[in-house]
Structure 1
Amino acid sequence: MPPILLKEAKLDQSMYRVQGSPGQGNWADVPWVAVFNKQKNVEATKGYYIVFVFRSDFKGFYISLNQGCTYFHEKYKEKLGNEKLGIVSNKVRELLHTIPKEQGLINIDLVSQGRLAKGYMKGHICGTYYDQDNLPDSKKIIEDLEELLITYEELLVIMNGRTLEQFNDYLLLNDDQYYLEDESSEEKFQETLLEIEKKNQNVPNYIEENPELRPPALVDKGGSEKWPRDSKKASRALRNNNFKCSFDDSHSTFISKKSGKFYVEAHHFIPMAQQKSYKYNLDRVANIFALCPNCHRMVHHGRDNDKVIVLRKLYKDRIHKLESLGLGITFTDLCKAYGISKGGNDLL
């Protein structure tokens, strides 16, 4: 079948590679023939590609825009990895605008519980089914392939030069309970860490001893590097501060319906936007303060002289711990990170 595809579909062999397997041993319980983009170094176990995959009972086959499962199994282990694979399939499907009208099939059934078959079924994004008893002619199948190649190329454009890991990490960001430091993510970030607290109320306080190297950046759809916040760490920070405002523990608030504790919000003291300037990870519990909603809004939106009063108190309380984690900063530079142009000392 691979030579036929190359010939009939007139595939550009400088761009595409066709590979197939009739089934070998236990790992290939469903035969397949796939079209890979050479320029993206895609292979059957890793990346996005188009595959003709046969049911294990040979009663039919699918053409499917699909993806390899190795990345997911290596990062999450097999069971959870398959769940994440399905989540990414759904997210990619929502991003695409060129899915052919006749190839909007959401689920495929390969009549097998083999590892390879499960990966194909979870990794399926879009495509169509050909029944053995009602097969179209080869011209129609080639036309379907040509249409799906357009969708495949759109997906590669959406990736915008990002590696597979960078693209998938971005898609799974919130599902993995990580959030960017921006207004659109803030409410969900605060909600998520309270939900985590409700599940982990008997976990002891979290203590950090040593610096932690800066993790790889997340690359957004525009190609910018950003470092997200781990809501699990933020939840620990609130617990460490006994759900009281770090600036003034007498500040009144209310009982959260989700956590059953006084409602406070997590605030990264040295903003995550500064991460590129640091060798070590800014997303540490020591760099996260619990603030009442009023104080939290004020350090983001208040007057400079009011911000400085809060920042000075928090700085004195935490700077030595931050320095022990490789996160030292002068108070003047901290104020600049908050957009306070004069620096802190001029406003006191």
Structure 2
Amino acid sequence: MVFILALLTEMQATGQREASLKHIKQRFLSLLQERESNGLLVDQPPEKAGTNWGSMNTTNIQSVISTPIAALSTILEQTSDTIGFKKALYDSWPQDVLTYLYDYAHAELESYYQQQSQNSFSLKEALSDVLTTYLMAKREPLAGHRLGSLMRQAIPAELKKLPFIHADLKIQGSIGQGNWATIPWIAIMDKRLTETTRQGEYLVYLFAEDMKSLYLTFMQGVTIPVETKGRPAAYQYFKEKVQEIRELLPLDGMTKDDAIFLTTGGLGQDYQVSTVAYYRYDVDHLPDDEQLIADLRNAVTNYNEYVNHVLHFRDEHQESVNDQNDDQEQEWEDQPFVDPLTVSERVAKIKNFIANKGFMYPDHWIENFYLSLKAKPFVILAGVSGTGKTKLVKLFAEAVGATAQNGQFTLIPVRPDWSDPSDLLGYKDLSGAFRPGKLTEVLVEASKPRNQHKPYFICLDEMNLARVEHYFSDFLSVLETKEWRDSRIVTTPLIHQDSLQHESDKQVFGDLYLPDNVYIVGTVNMDETTHPFSKKVLDRANTIEFNYIHLGQYPSIGEVQTTEDAVYPPNSLLRSDYLQLVDVYQDYKLLTEETTELLVKINGILEQIHSHVGFRIRDAVCFYMIYNERFNLLGKDAAFDMQLLQKILPRIQGSNLSVKTALLQLMQIALNRNIPLAEYREDASKLYTSQEFVPSAKYPQSARKIAFMLRRLEEDGFTSYWLS
């Protein structure tokens, strides 16, 4: 029918029985391109002819129109340049027959499109389905839910059929992984720019948490910029980028403000700040398919223009780089250091790397070690000799690209005679020249701009052979002074410039601070030759105990990752994302409050023995729990079990009845049930001789440790977390 309309239109224009085949091809193509450009339903061109009508011209549609010409061969006659109705047939027709045929063909074509529309996918109905059923669906199991198929497969598949969706566009939908998403989404990403919603610029349908509205947005991925820059610096980056893109593109018809409202939590704020422009649709007033597709087409047109601009700039920049010598001191944030793996995938890769090296650790130890480093870059590994404490640090560092050979892993054996920070940081000799310590040398190297995206590990071996508070006091102090500055985490100086005499020393070591890509791990054995830890140290570290070893484990045999083909993660994998609880409270309000309520209950017990905790430990435990939920590494109870074991129990020691009472009350929390306190104050042996308690405990690791501490108290008259 499209061909008939093109033929009749050309005949009416010329008043001739025959029309130019070239002009008919032009009219035929124009009719289809007009419908396509307006977002209206139109048959797709044959696969060999082209991806859409807009990409075709009159020279490559001969195969397309040959089919209708052949079907109408009984009434048409054709020369090399013209085509028209057969003369005998044309001469017998009344004068107004061409007008009648045109109206009839037009009506038939519209009827055909209407029927096709009724039988085809409706974007309005699909979006409405999500908006009206999602809240109820969240009460049902996520796995296998029909909304998952709709968002992940059906809607993306239908959007890909639209004529303006080209091959470089990736369409992906999500309703959550493991748990229902608060804000489900359908993203359209140009693969030349980004293939993940974690970074870059893309188009995305965002469903509000209350399902009362839907936004089609041109926005920026928020996750990686926030992780790598910190939220304050990332917000400034988003705002500058928004202004830049708004000035670059027309964005006609789209709203350009920050009035998006998706959720009461902090993630909605991230989206607001990073949004360039948007369309808003209310659930009760969704436009028809024609308008929805027209809006999407306009958004894609603007997005295409932006992508072309970025690619052009990238090509010019690359040419400039190729013409210059490599600048080794280029600021790391100018380059997009992004891990291609998710955090859970990266941790699994680290575990496999360590296992393939022949070292086996209990379940979830690697996840716990990672979360402990993420929460604060100071971890203590405690336990009997020969359990693999130092090896864990070395292999974990190696798995993320930090080795002794490249200077990113440094082992510093602690000496018993260390009594002040000079043994680590350095000292001034008799001439006034500064002689840096081993720790200072690492900090200088890690602080260089070319290295700031690389993690550096320092292992203080046998760190309690000397009193930690004496030689490590400066480090412990500056650890609590961290703040964001120019998208980096900085501290107050470890070495003040004013304390140095020589100008060359001032340039290298002056105002040297603890950079955010340095991680300190201390290994300790607790025996008569070592010193106990003060609460000042314990407050600032996660203490991971290595006393429970299963000797019956054997190395796995697999392919060992080599340094030649390895792709290592950037420092953002390990660096803290939050410095204060206010930075993340809105995002994880419920989890923060649940964790704090538990800590308040525990603190009430610890107050009886003057071992209660403050805000520092409260925040550290909350950060650990938040990272765990973000990256889906451990169950919630397993994660809190680790924190109870590592942040609370190391503070407890003593020989009196109040210590025993506190341990029994903590055991009730670990078991998640009441026990006869009065009876167990007299004799708690049932708790540490019976095998029935620990396996059924809510926090089994902590329950086992508390039982051990009770046993030492009853048998030896004194107990401590550190007794082995």
The TM-score with structure 2 as length reference comes to 0.24
The TM-score with structure 1 as length reference comes to 0.45
- Larger Rg: 1 or 2? 2
Q: Give the number of the structure whose residues are more often helix, by fraction.
A: 2
